[in-house]
Structure 1
Amino acid sequence: MVRYVGYLRVSTQRQGTSGLGLEAQQSALIAHASRSAGHIIETFVEIESGRRSDRPQLQAALHLCKLTGATLLIAKLDRLARSVAFIANLMESSVEFVAADMPYANKLTVHILAAMAEYEREAISERTRSALRAAKERGVKLGGPNKGANLRNCAPSLGGQRSKEKADQMARSLLPIIEEARRSGKSSLREIAEFLNERGILSSRGGRWWPSQIRNIFRRVGVD
């Protein structure tokens, strides 16, 4: 029987005390353990920010995994952190871990997903800063009840460039796993699309991959 150590995380004290978000995560862990004929020996709950890496409950969970040879079990990949460096450090440890929403993800898949999540977080922050700078340069008052509307009015001029940068970044981040698909004998656009779908990697629209999308990625990065 596979032994698991569960790890749950919520971002605020309020969520932790109310149970908001924890119940869904707990259900996902139990369902995965049941499907894999496993057993959760203990569950740790962290109330932290996703941007921090000094998480005592996670460290305690990892320590127990090392002592018992158990696998760390989380509900979703983003429950750990939207940080490539943090994910890399975790994977370099001797502890095996699995995400209930992507149980068959390998280390390369996890790296790519973490990179995409981190890029999205940074892109959102940069768009906000750019909109604020543009608003100030145009004399827009940022305070008051219409602050949100003022920022939205400044954002369209940045939207096209940001969308292109985001698409280019995503295309580059997917190249390693596309190369993995090719090495495994997947040569056609349809086969590569299915390779991504089978590994649970979502397209930029949050759905399945199609051959035309793979062709667009090749065009963006200049790959034949």
Structure 2
Amino acid sequence: MIQLYTDSSPNGFKITIALEELGLPYVLHHVDIDKGENRRPEFLRLNPFGRIPVLVDDGSGIALFESAAILLYLAEKTGRLLPTEEKARWEAIKWLTVHAASVGPLVGQRVHFELLAAERHPAAIERYRRLTDDAFSVLDSHLASRPYFAGDDYSIADIAHFGWTHIAQIIRFDFSALPHLSAWHQRIAARPAVQRGVTLPAPATGA
């Protein structure tokens, strides 16, 4: 059985979406970050960084943190959500890595400085607005000629990026002027498994 330790966050939603898409049975453990449950010793034994999500596969004995690693593991385990054709497969891995190394951290920093920081830092707010807008523009350009990040195949790259575009819409980081990114977002949002995944362990109401 798969054990998933998560909270209602963009990185957590990536994994609940993937598990719902794959139809894998799993046990959901709600780690309430607002209550500091991610800093408890029993959770830190799973992830010493104190971040969700964490996946433990009882069958294989494999325990993973970092959403990109978990998505790759689930794709490899099932042979799904990652194209088998070599070029498309590497496109999916490339755009998954772009998200993990660039887009996700940039949007996260914008969330911090624009919404969460105790003190306002106008220069930092402007910097991360510009960088996230630039990143969304790159995504929009890429999606102009293909329905999904890897081409014709829906993959873990799409799930990764959707985790943050879902939250971006909730907190009004507007990308509606980018037609290809917006259309892609609506395609992903319409999937039944995605609609289930973004409600687990609870729907997000903010960043």
Output the TM-score relative to the length of structure 1.
Answer: 0.35
Greater relative CO (CA pairs within 8 A, separation 6+): 2
Output the TM-score relative to the length of structure 2.
Answer: 0.37
